[in-house]
A and B are shown apart, each in its own frame.
Chain A
Amino acid sequence: MNEMATPIRQEREAKLEGMGCRRKRVEDIRFTQGKGNYVDDIKLPGMLFGDFVRSPYAHARVTGIDKTRALAVPGVLAVLTAEDLKGVNLAWMPTLAGDVQMVLADGKVLFQNQEVAFVVAEDRYAAADGIEAVDVEYEELPVLVDPFKSMEADAPLLREDIKDKTTGAHGPRKHPNHIFEWAVGDKELTDAAFAKAEVTIKELISYHRTHPSPLETCQALASFDKVKGELTLWGTFQAPHVVRTVASLLSKIPEHKVHVIAPDIGGGFGNKVGVYPGYVCAVVASIVTGRPVKWVEDRMENLSATSFARDYHMTTEIAATKEGKVTGLRVHVLADHGAFDACADPSKWPAGFFNIVTGSYDFPAAHLVVDGVYTNKAPGGVAYRCSFRVTEAAYCIERAMDVLAQKLGMDAAELRLKNFIRADQFPYHSALGWEYDSGDYHTAMRQAMQAVDYKGLRAEQAAKREAFKRGETRELMGIGVSFFTEIVGAGPSKNCDILGVAMFDSCEIRLHPTGAAIARMGTKSQGQGHETTYAQIIATEIGIPADLIMVEEGNTDTAPYGLGTYGSRSTPVAGAAIAMAARKIRAKAQMIAAYVLEVHEGDLEWDIDGFRVKGLPEKSKSMKDIAWIAYNAPPPGMEPGLEAVSYYDPPNMTYPFGAYICVMDIDVDTGAYTVRRFYALDDCGTRINPMIIEGQVHGGLTEAFAIAMGQEIAYDEMGNVKGASFMDFFIPTAVETPHWETDFTVTPSPHHPIGAKGVGESPNVGGVPAFSNAVNDAFAFLGSTHIQMPHDHWRNWMAAKRLGVHG
């Protein structure tokens, strides 16, 4: 046995708590003691509170706003309206998607609960009194709710500000309510594939409007120092540096005088990427009053005004041979963006990365068209726990593959195995333009099928269906198979930017003389555990125990510029920046070690926590010792110190994938369901902390469960939002939430410094189709091809009724 396996080495390695270790989270020490520091926990001397007057109408002209009564309310200091904001040119603001959005209603309102006026008062209660006393006169206008009617000739005109613009941020507009058309792929080749197809399917697959709804709502605290001309802005920001740049551009305060701080964030899930009217109004109010102003959204405001997600209506066609080999994919998406296009996609991608819609399959031809339209609904839509529009794409293709399997009379898993991109085809160029970095889909799918005894489940299902037909049971059994490929880690600066800011990310590491370190990041955790996992990467890279590494995020004064945390980009982009910065430190450390050990650099090798001379393991220098030397006795001619910064521009995205299987029983007479089993295999490449990965998968699956089985932001025909509180918006409790089984394979990313791909969003992306396919599979033998989500009890009951099983 060589020296590599001695216990001493294992002990040294264990002491680091580096990559691969189930390290307990450092964040938990403060969170479990109530010592987190969230925005609403911050209290400044003289702090005021702001609250919004919101529109009760979905579409109306604002004919008058009278502040008189409000200003007489005790404690109310100011009422801001669009007219006031015009003075500082802030009545409108740019969205991240190239559109503009009203900060406060300018002449009309375009969705229910739109911000109309901002009341500033001494405390939250006085602000609430104030908003009740602002008198607003409205003149109702015809309401447009159905996106399929947006581009009709007689549709109500929503956006008067751009009614004459025939070109938008993403090209020509076909109608005043049209935002963009985005086409990708080879139309002729795809049409040809369909022309000679032996089998085709076509289905309208809708992914309903929902909401990320983190437990902490969106909030901000602005403090403008008139003497210094400096603005400090605390907020629930997933991307603090982007907020700083936007705040500087909008307020005209030079960027070095804008200090943005994102303290602890109580969940984000995409909700906290964008810039909202509340942030802008808090800033303006602080400038106007000269006092700090806090804005804290309530839950109803959160669900009805900031950042819905999805609302994609996907007409999907697949061409195939009769043996089940896919030959073409054609998708048309009608995308409902609400009143303003407030997506948080990279600027050049109006439908995000929806062109990952060919999924895990080797489609020789594909063509995609997305039409974005305006309606009288809240603006968005954000990437809710998914890379930009990737969950919509995964749902689309995974549902469509099941529809094809049904038409062919083939098993859903068999059809997938037949069409997977093979391991030897990577790097794989998809028909819609992506280069998939790595994958081994067949292995993952087979491992999943074996783990759940897939054949046994299908046999049980067949028996149960016969029993149902004989009238012996009123329960249907569904098996939902989902195999997803994600595209995360935006992204290469050649094609990814937000408002012109390239989507790199960054890390700065300082190793202190005693061998402890601080790492500062351009990302911002909202619960992902960055303080724990980033330290693990550094520990492995530079041999310093993770417990001696402090990870700091969210303060734009101290952190290097980065694009933040969303789209599973932290590990793929910032994780790479960490490794690159750490390697710069290691390279300098190697020069120092060579000098001290009096050998050539090339004679040294890295050994867990330091360098040793090749062939002479007893001659070594630990990183801890090197740190001291770096500051206090560096080699002649070398600068003292041991620190590095890296800005990482990824060469490609990463492509995590996974195989999920859901087993569900549905009672046809009540529509009630039981998730009997849910198995999730994820391949996120190199695994940094398996405990945190499993936690991310549990949480993402629970959100997927909520979305697929009931969570919806619905509107009535008047544009009243119907699900804007936790009374109506389905958030599963511990009782409804199923038990989760997790598993994994490891296919490292070949272009990432540590081979990691990102995982936080995979379970949401793969989970939704698994649940929906289970429901659809349960009903399929009764003649149904597709039932729209969400699959709540009532809709299940309706499906059963429609299929004639209620007698």
Chain B
Amino acid sequence: MSKSHVQLRINGRDVEGLVEPRTLLIHFIRDHLGLTGSHIGCDTSHCGACTVDLDGKSVKSCTMFAVQAQGAEITTIEGIAAPDGALHALQEGFRMMHGLQCGFCTPGMIMRSYRLLQENPNPTEAEIRYGIAGNLCRCTGYQNIVKAVQYAAAKIGGREFVEAAE
């Protein structure tokens, strides 16, 4: 099959590659670029494990062809820590609040939350739950993920984080 040239910017780095037109963006990111943090969990766009940030929107990268991302600006889980290596508030929050177990949904969950907190910097619990409803987790029951997002929202907003009682 003839190949198409793709050029895009990912985690602040310009990259290019030759792909079949049918190559999914997630396969381009994982197999061609070697950024394996984003995962594949379902094939039907339900689980969100492949969520990346594309031109300021959360995108399930299994639902796009790599060629559709021509010229796009993409951020993946590998790209949200500060250049000096300091972790993003969400990365810290997920660990502090025990918001992950097997870790498979985590990159997608964090990338969705990353965009959510830019759309709504101080979301309520209900808004967080609705906001991450496109991402499935089989391990945590979401309760601690909600707390992790609240933790990060507080930290980013310079507010004190108060953990809700069970």
A125:B23 contact, CB within 8 angstroms = yes
Q: Is A41 an interface residue (CB 8 A)?
A: yes
With known contacts A32-B91, A38-B39, A726-B47, A740–B104 Cβ distance under 8 A: no
Q: How many residue pairs bridge A and B at CB < 8 Å? A: 181
Binary CB contact string for chain A from 519 to 539 against chain B (1 if under 8 A, 0 otherwise): 000000011110000000000
A215 touches B136 (CB 8 A): yes
Residues from chain A with Cβ under 8 Å of B102 in the complex: 214-216, 264-267, 526-527
B141 contacts A by Cβ under 8 Å: yes
Question: How far is it, in angstroms, between the C-alpha of A28 and the C-alpha of B151 when the chains are bound?
Answer: 16
Q: How far is the CA of A596 from the CA of B94 in the complex (A)?
A: 46
CB-CB nearest in chain B for A704: B141
* A63 CB–B CB distance under 8 Å: no
The smallest beta-carbon distance between B116 and chain A, in angstroms, is 11
Contact A734 B144 (CB under 8 A): no
Knowing A266-B104, A698-B144, the reply to whether A41 touches B138 (Cβ < 8 A) is no
- Answer whether residue B27 sits at the interface, using C-beta atoms and an 8 A cutoff: yes
Give, as a whole number of angstroms, the nearest-CB distance from A45 to chain B: 14
Q: Which of B105, B139, B142 has the most CB of A within 10 A?
A: B139
**A34-B100 CB under 8 A given contacts A215-B41, A731-B136:** no
Hey, what's the 0/1 contact readout for A24-35 against B, CB within 8 Å counting as 1? 110111111111
Asked whether A726 and B141 contact (CB < 8 A) given A24-B96, A28-B94, A36-B103, the answer is no
Considering only residues 120-148 of chain B, those with a C-beta below 8 Å from chain A are 128-130, 132-146
**A125-B106 contact in complex given A725-B44, A734-B132, C-beta closer than 8 Å:** no
Q: Cβ of A300 and Cβ of B43 under 8 Å apart? A: yes
Give A1-36 as 1s and 0s: 1 = Cβ < 8 Å from B's Cβ atoms. Answer: 000000000000000000000001101111111111
Asked whether A34 and B138 contact (CB < 8 A) given A215-B102, A299-B44, the answer is no
Report whether A699 and B106 are in contact in the complex, using a CB–CB cutoff of 8 Å.
no
Which of A24, A74, A125, A699 lies in contact with B139, CB distance below 8 A? A699
B37 within 8 A of A: yes
Q: Tell me, rounded to whole Å, the shortest Cβ–Cβ distance linking A292 to chain B.
A: 14
**B101 touches which of A29, A527, A734, A741 (Cβ 8 Å):** A527
A298's partner among B34, B43, B91 (CB-CB below 8 A) is: B43
Q: Is the CB of B37 within 8 A of A698?
A: no
Residues 70-93 of B, flagged 1 when their CB comes within 8 A of A and 0 if not, give 000000111001000001001110
Contacts of B20 in A (CB 8 A): 125
Contact residues in A for B36 (Cβ distance below 8 Å): 34, 38, 40-41
Whole-angstrom CA separation of A526 from B100 in the bound complex: 12
Chain A residue at smallest Cβ distance from B132: A734
Interface string of B30-45 (1 = CB under 8 A from A): 1100111111111110
Whether A737 sits at the interface, judged by CB under 8 Å, is yes
B10 CB within 8 Å of chain A: no
Does A691 make an interface contact (CB < 8 A)?
yes
Give the bracket for the number of chain B residues in contact with chain A: 35 or more
Question: Contacts A31-B106, A32-B110, A35-B37 known; A740 to B141 CB distance under 8 Å?
Answer: yes
A contact residues around B166 at 8 Å (CB): 694, 740-742
Tell yes or no: B5 within 8 A of A by CB: no
Binary interface encoding of chain A residues 252-281 relative to chain B, with 1 for a CB under 8 A from any of its CBs, else 0: 000000000000111101000000000000
User: In the bound complex, what is the Cα–Cα distance between A29 and B103 (angstroms)?
Assistant: 10
Determine if A683 is an interface residue (Cβ-Cβ < 8 Å).
Answer: no
Whether A32 pairs with B106 at a CB distance below 8 angstroms is yes
Report A-chain residues with C-beta under 8 Å of the C-beta of B159.
none
**Interface residue from B101, B130, B135 paired with A699 (Cβ < 8 Å):** B101
Task: Enumerate chain B residues within 8 angstroms of A741, measured Cβ to Cβ.
Answer: 166
Cβ 8 A contact of A33, one of B42, B77, B146: B77
Could you say which of B36, B128, B140, B143 has the most chain A C-beta atoms within 10 Å of its C-beta?
A: B143
Docked Cα-Cα span, A124 to B28, in Å, equals: 12
State A735–B133 Cα separation when bound (angstroms).
6
In the bound assembly, the distance between CA atoms of A550 and B139 in angstroms comes to 24
Partner of A125 from the list B22, B92, B110, B145 (CB cut-off 8 Å) is: B22
Q: How far is the CA of A33 from the CA of B91 in the complex (A)?
A: 7
Q: In the docked arrangement, what's the CA distance between A511 and B133, Å? A: 46
Residues 329-384 (chain A) with a chain B CB within 8 angstroms? none
Do A734 and B138 touch across chains, with their CB atoms under 8 A apart? Answer: no
